[in-house]
Structure 1
Amino acid sequence: MDKPLISVVLSVYNAAPYLEECLESLAAQTYSPIEFWLADDGSSDDSRTILDQWAAKDQRFKTDHNDKNIGKIKTINRLLLERAEGKYLSVHDADDYSAPNRFELQLQFLEAKPDHGLCGTFYTKISDDNKVLRKEKKHVSADAIRAELKNFNQFCGPTMVYRADLFKRLGGYRPFLNRIGNEDYDLSYRAAEQMKCSNIPHFLYYYRQSENSLSKTLKAENAVSHKLVQWLALERAAEGKDALQKNEVERCVAQLEKLCQPYKEEPDLLCREYAAGYMYEKLYRSAFFAALQSIKINPKKLINYRTAFYILRKANFNLLN
């Protein structure tokens, strides 16, 4: 029996420093048949050139670039819904890389379990220079995942492989979350309402946390997007459809504004919470940057200075070098 095709897509925006490593890991995948759809989303660096070079030398790689930057969700939806031909689909981040046997193990799992619509993996968080920051495990069983989705995202988004028919039935990623975040949480939550979803207990993905990009994203919308996903799920549970499925976008906007209100009233709180999150990940430069932003916003609040000094002590004052 012929093995099923998997389609993997990359939406790329200014990822040139990491792109070769990412594409090499995809080219080394032990699973076949496989196709890769690559789209440059209006990069100003050499990303598009690198993608075109790979498409020219390996027929599994295909390009379909954007004329201008339209955002990740719109790009991957276009590729997955209009270009991809696989029975299975996946989205790979352009600055990460995968273990060679990743897709082989995930498709073995999904082919053996037709009642499962989605499969993720354990993953390793790495720094800009490929140092291991931490290894992340997730719940494995579908029952545990379904029970915990109401509290936290149970999947690392780019580790997910899903059935194409399920993805299309769900309508793909929802454009409302473009540039807000947690689109993977929303997709996996909706998928788990229709089919079983699991993680396989293998570390098969390397997820890069770049301090250069993290320090630029102190936005309230990003900080509360997971709560918006949970609010939408509660609506589906109570009414069968959520506000986006009812095309009531104004209600989603109003709910997002409501969730952001505490940060509008106390904007330095947002920076301190980002600092705490970065500290948990041992991303000291990003944490210190967030703490400095809190001081800039409210220089009269003592807790902002305490936060910055605490970060310096934990980092052994190396941030000052």
Structure 2
Amino acid sequence: MQPLISVIVPVYNVEKYLEECINSIINQTYKNLEIILIDDGSTDKSGEICDEFATQDNRIIVIHKENGGLSSARNAGLDIMQGEYLSFVDSDDMVDENLIQTLFLLIEKYKTKIAICGYDKFSQNSDIDKIKEKNLTINDDFSYTPEEVFNESLKVKTFFTKCAWRNLVHKSIYQNLRFPVGENYEDVAVFFDVFNQSNTAFTYKNLYFYRFNLSSISNTFKDSSLVMIKNVRKFATSIENAYPNLKNKAIAYKCNSALNMAFLIVAHKSKKYFDTLYDLHKFVRQNLNSDFFKMQGNAIYRDILMILFYISPKLLYTFVNTIKSVKNIFKR
């Protein structure tokens, strides 16, 4: 008999998309599932929807809890799961019906504890049909050691984005590991600890469908955004310590993160965080190396931003807001 696999779904105020998400999990070709829906204090009808599905499918377990955030909800699922393997799905996303089956077969094929598929963004359901059609032309899969995974992730490759979803993981990986509660970028915080425990099997097939919703993107800079600095540095420093030959790439990655944060601060004119801006500038001045300019995806525009920031935060601020002003003029 195939092993039980737990699918953990944190749920918070997603009544508009929840049914589609749950249906995509229920309809998996891999049937021996434990589907754990964590209602994280929803104030809309999400909790009721979860309960209704539980009456229709005995594989579904619903937990209702006070709102504690994404990490808290995932941890609640980890605490009660009974599966040999586990997978996370965000409640506004959808998954291909072959997601679990494909990842499980990869784990068996390469004798790993982790398998990952590709993902693609969608804004309407017709986009998913196009993604599935492209998947028909993708047949390659492969396995990486932890060091190879981290080497690729330091290149800022989209495929190696650091997320908890789209993975299938053996239960032992999370036995002594939980997500940091109350923090953003919680996936980055645990990424090293997860992927340093096993080789990882991969398929480039995009079996996870990430809902892209412009209205959900924050247009303000918040205190919670700053935790990205801490979690990225924790991730990169762990790589430095474990794999010395990746040290320069890890440092460049931290500089890249510093530039990302600096860009957010100046783009939102968040004067409250200007002290942080100058701390980031100091970090870049002390640590920037040539590997930053070799990072995949760092276009000339990005290199220019880094050079300006390296010289002075004021130059970055002037440049970014001048560009924004010019774009606003042409929008009129």
Q: Work out whether the TM-score is over 0.5.
A: yes
2:62 alignment partner in structure 1: 63
2:117 alignment partner in structure 1: 121
- SS in structure 1 at match of 2:188: helix
For 1:221 and 1:5, the matched residues in 2 are separated by 38
Task: Verify the 8 A CA contact 1:117 1:191 in the aligned structure 2.
Answer: no
Task: Verify the 8 A CA contact 1:145 1:198 in the aligned structure 2.
Answer: no
2:76 alignment partner in structure 1: 78
Task: Verify the 8 A CA contact 1:128 1:211 in the aligned structure 2.
Answer: no
* 2:58 aligned partner, one-letter code: Q
Deviations 1:86-126 (A, max 9, x none): 11001100000001111011111112332x12111011111
Structure 2 unpaired stretches of 5+: 245-253, 271-296, 298-316
The 1:46/1:52 distance shift into structure 2, 3 A limit, reads: same
Post-superposition offset of 1:167: 1.8
2:211 alignment partner in structure 1: 208
Matches within 5 A, 1:171-190: 171-175=176-180, 178-181=182-185, 183-190=186-193
Post-superposition offset of 1:308: 5.2
Post-superposition offset of 1:74: 1.6
Matches within 5 A, 1:1-321: 2-66=1-65, 68-80=66-78, 82-114=79-111, 116-127=112-123, 131=127, 141-143=143-145, 144-152=148-156, 154-155=160-161, 156-168=163-175, 171-175=176-180, 178-181=182-185, 183-216=186-219, 218-219=221-222, 220-221=225-226, 223-224=228-229, 227-234=232-239, 236-237=241-242, 263=262, 267-269=265-267, 301=318, 303-307=320-324, 309-310=326-327, 317=331
Deviations 1:52-88 (A, max 9, x none): 110111111110110x2111112211211x2111110
Task: Verify the 8 A CA contact 2:37 2:50 in the aligned structure 1.
Answer: yes
Normalising by structure 1, we get a TM-score of: 0.69
Task: Verify the 8 A CA contact 2:106 2:201 in the aligned structure 1.
Answer: no
Deviations 1:134-171 (A, max 9, x none): 9999x954144232234447244310110001221xx2
Normalising by structure 2, we get a TM-score of: 0.67
Post-superposition offset of 1:201: 2.1
Task: Verify the 8 A CA contact 1:22 1:96 in the aligned structure 2.
Answer: yes
For 2:90 and 2:269, the matched residues in 1 are separated by 26
Task: Verify the 8 A CA contact 2:15 2:45 in the aligned structure 1.
Answer: yes
For 1:128 and 1:216, the matched residues in 2 are separated by 22
Task: Verify the 8 A CA contact 1:140 1:201 in the aligned structure 2.
Answer: no
- SS in structure 1 at match of 2:216: helix
The 1:92/1:225 distance shift into structure 2, 3 A limit, reads: farther
- SS in structure 2 at match of 1:17: coil
Deviations 1:248-289 (A, max 9, x none): xxxxxxx9xx9699749x9324679xxxxxxx9xxxxxxxxx
Task: Verify the 8 A CA contact 1:159 1:205 in the aligned structure 2.
Answer: yes
* 2:172 aligned partner, one-letter code: D
1:291 alignment partner in structure 2: none
Task: Verify the 8 A CA contact 1:93 1:158 in the aligned structure 2.
Answer: yes
For 1:221 and 1:147, the matched residues in 2 are separated by 25
The 1:267/1:149 distance shift into structure 2, 3 A limit, reads: closer
The 1:100/1:129 distance shift into structure 2, 3 A limit, reads: closer
- SS in structure 1 at match of 2:86: strand
* 2:104 aligned partner, one-letter code: L
- SS in structure 2 at match of 1:175: coil
Post-superposition offset of 1:301: 4.8
For 2:75 and 2:266, the matched residues in 1 are separated by 35
* 2:51 aligned partner, one-letter code: D
For 1:3 and 1:39, the matched residues in 2 are separated by 25
Post-superposition offset of 1:4: 0.6
- SS in structure 2 at match of 1:125: strand
Structure 1 unpaired stretches of 5+: 240-254, 273-279, 281-299
For 1:26 and 1:305, the matched residues in 2 are separated by 47
> % of aligned pairs identical?
25
Deviations 1:219-269 (A, max 9, x none): 442653552343441465289xxxxxxxxxxxxxxx9xx9699749x9324
* 1:198 aligned partner, one-letter code: A
- SS in structure 2 at match of 1:157: coil
For 1:34 and 1:103, the matched residues in 2 are separated by 9
The 1:202/1:225 distance shift into structure 2, 3 A limit, reads: farther
For 2:319 and 2:241, the matched residues in 1 are separated by 43
For 2:165 and 2:72, the matched residues in 1 are separated by 16
